[in-house]
A and B are shown apart, each in its own frame.
Chain A
Amino acid sequence: MHPILKLVAQRLALGFLLLAAASVLIFVGTSILPGDVAQSILGQSATPEALANLRRELGLDQSAVSRYLSWVGGILHGDLGTALTNGRDIGESLGVRLGNTLFLAFWAALISVPLAIFLGLLAVRYKDRWPDRLISAVTLTTISIPEFMIGYLLIYWVAIRLGWFSSVSIINDSMSLGQKLNAIAIPVMVLTLVVLAHMMRMTRAAILNVMQSAYIETAELKGLPMLKIIRRHAFPNAIAPIVNVVMLNLAYLVVGVVVVEVVFAYPGMGQYLVDHVAKRDVPVVQACGLIFAAVYIALNLVADIVSILTNPRLRHPK
């Protein structure tokens, strides 16, 4: 077998193993949460009879192992079960939520990834001169402000004072693409500002690292222009670490945007998960956890495979 194929196959197998381990952790974690779903659904106004009735109905009286097995079995058949709290099909509600989260993450990534790489290249080109310093200062400032604060500042200026975009980002199927983009404009700005610095600085560092190499010096001595050296010789060799940090940030855009979703009332996965954690709606929490784990593992797999594929030593084995 070709060594690249073998490595990729190994990584994929490892990914599935990790996912299986994650499912056990998620199940155990949700089982030891304090309080129980029956009490949380009925809230402060629960009577003991109502509690007992609900518990029985929800199957909370069965053993943990049998509940885990039936859960995993269901997932393998594509059935995520129904939410305990409102009896809705989890797969259906989750599909809509995941779609919304991916929609927001897609547009944030579409803007932030090229922008970060471009700014990183620019910073290398003008290393230690004012464009480099300005880019670093601005991106480090925005990453240092908590995201809810950036959100509130943008709401105040862009939504209330200027009235350009809406402050509530609730989207639904009956909206046109233009209306949806208008609705998510401010959260996309917040997310871009939050992830920009990390990716930009990693790009800058990776390229500068490559720039120390002997072959770059050769290129310089040949008299090639700086931008060309960066583009043709340095950047391709820095792809692996850049892809790594980009994937890490993409994962954040999918699984880490709870705060942004709350501030803008955006109907994504994070909000959905938080509501169900608060109500101890375990099947939903488990389903969300599993999807988040899968997203993380998949994006890391992609980063790994890209590093393998871009590694000349593996591409041209001796």
Chain B
Amino acid sequence: MNDKLDYLSSRVTKGLMTRREFAGRAAALGFTAAAANAMLADKARAEGPVRGGTIKSGLSGGESTNTMDPALTASEVPLTNIRHWGETLLELTPDGQLDYRLAESAEASADAKTWAFKIRKGVEFSNGQTMTPDDVLKTMQRHSDENSQSGALGIMRGIESMKVDGDNFIVEMSTASADLPYLMTDYHLMIQPGGGIDNPGAGIGTGPYTIEFDEPGVRHGYKRRENYWDAENRGFAEFSEVYVLNDATARTAALQSGQVHMINRVEPKIADLLGRAPNITVESAAGPGHYVFIMHIDTAPFDNNDLRLALKYAINREEMVDKILRGYGTIGNDFPINSSYPLFDESIPQREFDLEKAAEHYKASGHDGSPIILRTADGAFPGAVDAAALFQQTAQAAGIPLEIKREPNDGYWTEVWNAQPFCASYWGGRPVQDQMYTTAYLSTADWNDTRWKRPEFDEMLLAARGEIDEAKRKEIYSKMAMMLRDEGGLILPMFNDYISGVSDSIGGWVEDSNGEFMSNKANIKCWVKA
């Protein structure tokens, strides 16, 4: 009996049978679906990666304006691009642990102010040069230069000085920072020869591929390179191609007709349908990204905590996850952290939908009954307009006069977000709590989009940053979360999942909670089954 299943599963891993057929046969042999899946996963691992072939992705999030310069990388396709040819000092494993890449180790001084990163030896750039700690230093200098346009400038600001000491790259922080290795996983910080100062968009790095063709907004092609240092684990396909398919239907059609092997951003409303198509599996991963409504707490009427609480109680989170995300997500609790973060406190009580409490707080706020204007656009997050409409309905049931103003997608991030007092928005999340809070909730944060300015909150954040004892840190983070949840300007109804469509001819797909599309590493970590 087991021999039979063994035979069948090997057919699946060789691509001679679909997973669906396998599940059917296994059920016929008397196995449960779970047992059959576990069997299949073991088999796939045992078969190991397949080398060669061409792996193709169709991705949303690319424009003809894109460049290969990691400093300017902001959307999905450029992110996938730079992962092909470049690497950071550290990365995160799919379950959020530190993964030492170009740094072999990271050690902190007792006060967590000085960090030493031991740089891996014998790693070659694709131009044949050997990577040195000096290249690391120059790269970091480029991103921390005040004249830089780098998206990593914000996280480099706490750095007091940097230097090279033998094999080590030494960073001195102005205040203690227990999380610095996590910050070094930031995708902007791809190590480039000479820091990439002369030609940042050249695409020279330590990654498994070199650029074969580069047509921004259309397609990008890569060839595997021979002297990649970690060929055991990455860069299985001989060629890797990325097609820019921003239209959701075009993307789905390309996957269904076999023109690409994998696509990102499957719309929740079609995910179940797509999963039923032959030879296609829909993969979803819970992550730190969240869909939110943002209030400026220093602007009337949102400067009144009763009004903020009224709105928070008047939102039906379960309905939003069901209707907007079709179940591909989890409910939020009005602070930007969920279980995908280390040191998340599960015991913080969930805020429930409660029209009575909403009405009470609304009354206590003494609001004059004039319309409260919520600005939204589908560019804020997919389904933002519908989510705002749902919010309006439940708010009205509590007697809150919410009015929706629909804004154009074009220019939303300049004209509305961080400019208007109440609007829909999206946050992609960060690897650690410290970074998330520092980015948007510290009084001095550049993107403090709720105008949350509390000295006691800042103090707690700095204390947690320098605290090496994890239990104590968790306690501080928990207090901060409660404070934001009960007084902050953030209404966070849901955390969204990352949903991708993957052909059954692809091996090596793993659920990765750090970012979309296996943290943009699907092309370099998966393989095409022969």
Is residue A275 contacting chain B, with contact meaning CB distance below 8 A?
Answer: yes
Contact flag A87-B67 (CB < 8 Å), given A262-B247, A265-B245: yes
Q: Which of A125-133, A166-174, A225-233, A241-249 contacts B (4 or more CB under 8 A)?
A: A166-174
Contact assessment for A263 and B148 in the assembled complex, using a CB-CB cutoff below 8 Å: no
Contacts A272-B64, A278-B63; A168 near B259 (Cβ below 8 A): yes
Contact B63 A159 (CB under 8 A): no
Query: CA A265 – CA B251 in complex, angstroms?
Result: 9
A277 lies within 8 A of B149 (CB)? no
* A-contact 0/1 string along B148-160, CB 8 Å cutoff: 1111011000000
B270-287 vs A, Cβ < 8 Å mask (1 yes, 0 no): 000000000000000000
Contacts of A88 in B (CB 8 A): 216
| Docked-complex contact A44 and B447, CB < 8 angstroms | yes
**Most chain A CB within a 10 A radius of its CB, from B151, B247, B250, B410:** B250
Q: Which of B66, B72, B201, B243 contacts A168 (CB 8 A)?
A: B243
Q: In the complex the two chains form, is A168's CB within 8 Å of B245's CB?
A: yes
Q: Which of B94-102, B314-322, B413-421, B465-473 contacts A (4 or more CB under 8 A)?
A: B413-421
Q: Are A271 and B259 in contact (CB under 8 A)?
A: no
What 0/1 readout, one digit per residue, does chain A (36-64) give for beta carbons within 8 Å of chain B? Answer: 10011111111111100110000000000
B65–A265 contact, CB under 8 A? no
| B64 with A275: CB separation less than 8 A | yes
B313 CB, min distance to chain A CBs, angstroms: 28
Across the two chains, which residue of chain A brings its CB closest to B68?
Answer: A86
* Contacting residues, chain B, for A34 (C-beta < 8 A): 411, 414-415
The reply on B446 being an interface residue by CB < 8 A is yes
Are B257 and A166 neighbours in the complex by a CB distance under 8 Å? yes
Residue A237 CB within 8 A of the other chain: no
Task: Answer whether residue B74 sits at the interface, using C-beta atoms and an 8 A cutoff.
Answer: yes
Is A27 interfacial (CB 8 A cutoff)? Answer: no
Contact with A along B367-409 (1 / 0, CB 8 A): 0000000000000000000000000000000000000000000
B426 CB, min distance to chain A CBs, angstroms = 8
B58 at the interface (CB under 8 A from A): yes
A74 within 8 A of B: no
Instruction: From known contacts A34-B411, A87-B67, A272-B64, infer whether A152 and B149 are also in contact, taking CB-CB under 8 Å.
Output: no
Mark out the residues of chain B between 48 and 72 whose CB falls within 8 Å of any chain A CB in the assembled complex: 58, 63-67, 72
Nearest neighbor of B244 in chain A, beta-carbon distance:
A265
Chain A residues lying within 8 Å of B64, measured Cβ to Cβ, are: 93, 271-272, 275-276
Main secondary structure of the interface of B (DSSP, over half): loop
Cβ-based interface call for B105 (8 A):
no
- A interface SS class: helix
The residue from A166, A168, A275 contacting B63, defined by CB atoms under 8 A apart:
A275
Q: Could you tell me if A167 and B148 are in contact, using CB atoms closer than 8 angstroms?
A: no
Q: A43-B74, A54-B149, A160-B256 are in contact. Are A85 and B65 (CB under 8 A)?
A: yes
Residues of A within 8 A of B260 (CB): 168
CA distance in complex: A272, B246 (Å): 13
Is there a chain A Cβ closer than 8 Å to B113's Cβ? no
B215 interface residue, CB < 8 Å from A?
yes
Provided the pairs A166-B257, A262-B246 are in contact, do residues A277 and B410 lie with their beta carbons within 8 angstroms?
Answer: yes
Interface size on A, residues (CB 8 A): 48
Question: Do A47 and B249 touch (CB < 8 A)?
Answer: no
Interface residue A267 (Cβ < 8 Å from any Cβ of B): yes
Chain A residues lying within 8 Å of B216, measured Cβ to Cβ, are 86, 88
Q: Are A172 and B219 in contact (CB under 8 A)?
A: yes
The residue on A at minimum CB distance from B427 is: A44
Provide the residues of chain A in CB contact with B244, threshold 8 Å. Answer: 265
- Tell me which residues across on chain A come within 8 A of B218, comparing CB atoms: 170, 172, 265, 267
A279 on the B face (CB < 8 A): yes
| Residues in B whose Cβ lies below 8 Å from that of A54 | 149
Contact with B along A73-85 (1 / 0, CB 8 A): 0000000000101
Complex alpha-carbon distance, A43 and B417, angstroms:
11
Residue B254 is within 8 A (CB to CB) of chain A in the complex: yes
Residue pair A168, B254 in contact (C-beta under 8 Å) = yes
Q: Nearest B residue to A281 by beta-carbon distance?
A: B65
CB-nearest residue of chain A to B66: A86
- The reply to whether B253 and A170 contact each other, CB–CB distance below 8 Å, is no
A40 to B215 Cα, complex, angstroms? 21
A53 and B259 contacting across the interface, CB-CB below 8 Å:
no
Measured CA separation A199–B383 after assembly (Å): 40
Contact of B410 among A44, A156, A278 (CB under 8 A): A278
Partner of B250 from A42, A87, A263, A279 at Cβ < 8 Å? A263
Q: Is A240 an interface residue (CB 8 A)?
A: no
Q: Please, how many angstroms separate the alpha-carbon atoms of A129 and B415 in the complex?
A: 58
* Complex CA distance for A88 and B218, rounded to whole angstroms: 15
Any chain B CB within 8 A of the CB of A296? no
The answer to whether A172 touches B243 (Cβ under 8 A) is no
- State whether the Cβ of A193 lies closer than 8 Å to any Cβ in chain B: no
- Residue B147 lies at the interface, judged by CB distance under 8 Å to chain A: yes
Most central of B150, B153, B218, B243 by chain A CB within 10 Å: B218
Q: A43-B75, A168-B245 are in contact. List 11 more A-B contacts (CB 8 A).
A: A36-B414, A40-B413, A40-B414, A42-B151, A44-B413, A45-B74, A47-B154, A53-B148, A86-B201, A263-B247, A265-B244
Nearest 9 A/B pairs, CB to CB: A85-B65, A35-B414, A86-B67, A275-B63, A167-B253, A35-B411, A267-B218, A43-B74, A275-B64
List 20 A-B pairs, Cβ < 8 Å: A34-B414, A35-B411, A35-B415, A40-B413, A41-B72, A49-B153, A86-B65, A86-B216, A159-B257, A167-B254, A167-B259, A168-B245, A168-B250, A168-B253, A168-B254, A170-B219, A262-B246, A262-B247, A265-B247, A277-B410
